[in-house]
Amino acid sequence: MIGLLTIFLVISGCLCMHFYYESHTIATVVIDAGHGGYDPGSIGADGTMEKDVTLKLAKQVGKTLHRMDRRIKVVYVRDDDVVDWADNETDDLIGRVIFANEQKADYYLSIHLDASENLEARGYSFYIRSDDDISRAIAYQIEENLNQIHWSQSRGINQTDQEPLYVVNNLQVPSMLMEVGFITNSEECRNIQRNTRMLAKQIAAAYYDIIIKQTETE
């Protein structure tokens, strides 16, 4: 009897916690794993497809961020290799913006891998709108976190006024596209895949810090 009562209390406790956290969302982060489905993105020398690396990383960032604070809701634009919108690039990008708006995103993070004819090119970079100070703060924080673990190198923060990016430019909320590294640099591509967890942790930690700061100032 006591056993049953304990089980009942544990289950109802968990349910209460679950509903408490769900109803106390402090931020919704939409994470967009670049490419997918019909669109493999860039392809590395060993056949690695960008869409597969971005998916793994996106899911790991989301999982880590939600674990850091259950009040942070994470929504994935895709959580497998299926994209359920039109299979052409224009409609695909419009689809991602509509999705982020429907989900009432407070933050939007798009994850990609860079590609270059120079196979030695390495490092990560960010794309944000020039008026988006919050995303700039997140990017700085990611740089700091990655420097601490001596991860590759930052190629800097680019502003989408100079290099227009449809998704970033068409959202009102803090939006960032991160090129996590070069798929065309076989060493870096391997490192990213081997260290997905560690890399995701640094990105998630930056979002967590800024979200908490924002919540406190509101």
Rule CB under 5 A: say whether 112 interacts with Zn ion: yes
* Residue number of the CB atom closest to Zn ion: 112
> How many residues interact with Zn ion (rule CB under 5 A)?
3
Q: Could you tell me which stretch among 28-36, 121-129, 194-202, 207-215 binds Zn ion (CB under 5 A)?
A: 28-36
Nearest approach in angstroms of CB 101 to Zn ion is 21
Build a one-symbol-per-residue string for 35-54: x at contacts with Zn ion by CB under 5 A, - elsewhere: ------x-------------
Rule CB under 5 A: say whether 34 interacts with Zn ion: yes
The letter for the amino acid at 9 is L
Q: Could you tell me which stretch among 7-15, 32-40, 59-67, 209-217 binds Zn ion (CB under 5 A)?
A: 32-40
Footprint on this chain of Zn ion (rule: CB under 5 A): 34, 41, 112
